[in-house]
Structure 1
């Protein structure tokens, strides 16, 4: 089994924003994870007066909830393609189309820097974490969320497990997605100079017709070619896995979302 990391990019080799239904797929993920993200951000004190950077903002659901529910001062929503953000803008929300891996990425400094399901798709994650930490003002927080794979060798075989294993391997071979290092987040944040650091994992339930189940089904459809290329599944197996997700027979754990956070030492300027 090859473990080489592919050189394609998210949004180009897979999950292209111009593909029909891509915004809806992202929104299904948001419906599954936004509440836990917002609960963590509020617990960290995010609120009025905060300037926030939302990296890989997708369709902007977290950015808008920061403004509407947490009452932050402003949010800069960054993505390599902001087409899903432009039609959903509102006062206090600024958009920036940019590549965070570029050496000249320098959007300013913020009290909150947040990135969810972004770094797992990118190389040089240690450098990027250090760079994002540099964008946090003293007293501010860096909050990172990414997937953790729960399909170990001891996980019972099922259509779901087969599809997830093929998906992770296929995405690594095509666009470089790598979740193996995600449990290292707390150590990496500490290495970037943040203190204190902590982390938690949230695993939402897989229920027939739920936003999360629909998110995975749509994700498999968009990564089908990469999955089949691994040799772990064929088209029929992917179809079976999609049906399994939508059935009462499904008995599986979704990938978890690990969220880690760290604070930039010092007092926030008043």
Structure 2
């Protein structure tokens, strides 16, 4: 096992992968209630453009369009293949790790990113560009998932997710701790009204967070095995635990931070 230069979306998790739309829909179903709750609390300046980064299927951009009809909303992702047309926002296919992307984008009253920075090798660069893109009086909101293995009751689930985490950190550059630093970084940069929320994806019957994690394991496990992080049947028990049974457990934490630019 060696250090990889692959980035999330290069090969694994492309928007053309069979089943990727369903996987992302499960994730959106699991976390959007928290995103929409926190967005509703922000006093985004009227008349300002809104930016959603790493927009995936466009669900957050769509909600922003419903909240602010007539507002210019830009939704950026490396691929716009899963976004809908004519839904009140503008899809833009671009790489946020490229400086020229930020030259094109301009400034916004709200810059939002969800489940993006954790997967970027250049997350510090992108975080700085995000703060720069916010107009005075505008808001930055950033959310990512944070691993909390001590909250999981199932030992097998805990062990399997540890193998998944090791793979994603080494092979894709993913960080499952970086979200805990966002609020402090906003404060240190001079932002005001900084806040943070901690929520949790739950394992249980018909829980979308559990379905998302099961699909993620099924998708990645062949590569995890081929690169020596686990044995072929190592995920079977954890997937069965996620997909069925009358039991409840903690899957992973979801951390959101926000701040207003002075």
TM-score by length of 1: 0.88
1:234 aligns with 2:200: no
Task: Indicate the larger mover: 227-236 or 64-73.
Answer: 227-236
113, 133, 136: which is aligned to 1:135? 133
Superposed CA RMSD in Å reads 2.1
- Give, in angstroms, the shift of residue 50 of structure 1: 4.1
1:93 aligns with 2:98: no
Contact 2:205 2:246 in 1 (8 A): no
Contact 1:170 1:229 in 2 (8 A): no
Measured at CA, do residues 231 and 262 of structure 1 come closer, stay the same or move farther in structure 2, by a change above 3 Å?
same
1:102 aligns with 2:62: no
- Give, in angstroms, the shift of residue 16 of structure 1: 1.8
Measured at CA, do residues 165 and 70 of structure 1 come closer, stay the same or move farther in structure 2, by a change above 3 Å?
farther
1:156-192 CA distances to partner (integer Å, 9 max, x unpaired)?
Answer: 5522112211111111111110122321111222233
178, 184, 187: which is aligned to 1:190? 187
> In 1, distance between residues paired with 2:6 and 2:70?
36
TM-score by length of 2: 0.91
Gaps of 5+ in 1: 266-270
- Deviating runs (4+, > 4 A) in structure 1? 154-157, 229-232
SS in structure 2 of the partner of residue 223 of structure 1: helix
SS in structure 1 of the partner of residue 192 of structure 2: coil
Contact 1:160 1:252 in 2 (8 A): no
> In 1, distance between residues paired with 2:75 and 2:57?
10
Q: How many residues align?
A: 260
Gaps of 5+ in 2: none
Contact 2:97 2:125 in 1 (8 A): no
201, 204, 208: which is aligned to 1:207? 204
> In 1, distance between residues paired with 2:175 and 2:224?
15
Task: Indicate the larger mover: 43-52 or 185-194.
Answer: 43-52
1:22-75 CA distances to partner (integer Å, 9 max, x unpaired)?
Answer: 011111100111111011001112486342100000000111011124546121
23, 37, 43: which is aligned to 1:45? 43
SS in structure 1 of the partner of residue 73 of structure 2: strand
> In 2, distance between residues paired with 1:243 and 1:200?
30
1:23 aligns with 2:38: no
1:244 aligns with 2:245: no
Measured at CA, do residues 158 and 38 of structure 1 come closer, stay the same or move farther in structure 2, by a change above 3 Å?
same
